[in-house]
Amino acid sequence: MIRLLLISNSTNAGEEYLGHSLIKIKKFLGNFQPQNAIFIPYAAVTFSFDQYEQKVNEKLESIGLSVKSIHHFSEPREAIEKADLIVIGGGNTFHLLKLMQDNDLLDVIRKKVQNGTPYIGWSAGSNVACPTIKTTNDMPIIEPQSFNALSLINFQINPHYLDANPQGHAGETREQRIEEFVEVNRNVYVVGLREGTALQIEDHKIKLIGDKPARVFHYGKTPMELGPKDDLSFLCLDF
């Protein structure tokens, strides 16, 4: 069974780090107690991987979970092979994908998840679960080998989706940017995940978690507002 928890953002405004995310992670894991959870911190840019690992573990300990960062292993592919949980944190998606590619991790993570290893990602960690990172909000501070990512799902996610058009801003809104994507990529759905929400995926079942609807885009269709009670199976997961 494929099991994914793809969270829009780690932290809501006014919360402690991983505030709303810890609740979702705990429910997702249920009675499962990982003994070898691997954390991928490659989205960190302005702070060290050690700092990232420590920051995450300080919060995860409250739900009885700890992770070990992939950067401690001399053979990162082997570490993934032995993992019973894969966690990928947020930050810069281009930096994350570049280092995942450089360490030859895409195929081994994909196979592990397809064979049942649970996957948790937030922000950039949700972006790389998609076929590509083309719907990230991040600045391309580094050039990956390609935009192709893990393809754990066959639709795109736009984390941190915002409806707002700030006063005095004359540029494109987030919706307009996504409409550009679906104009060029006409067979691909894009799910705009608002802050505080997540997609929980178990095999071909997709559940929206959180108190805000998702905004779903596809070429030639009016964007849809879908909530936790709506059927999201049309997103056509293909494993």
Give catalytic residues, as residue numbers: 123, 138, 160
Query: Structure tokens of 146?
Result: 């390609």
CB 69 within 8 A of CB 41: yes
- Long-range CB pairs of 22-28 (<8 Å, 24+ gap) are 22/59, 22/60, 22/62, 22/63, 24/198, 24/200, 24/209, 25/60, 25/63, 25/65, 25/120, 26/63, 28/3, 28/118, 28/120, 28/200
Q: Which residues have a Cβ under 8 Å from the Cβ of 164 and sit 6 or more positions away? A: 173
DSSP code of residue 116: T
- Long-range CB pairs of 218-225 (<8 Å, 24+ gap) are 218/182, 218/188, 218/189, 218/190, 219/182, 219/183, 219/185, 219/186, 219/187, 220/186, 223/175
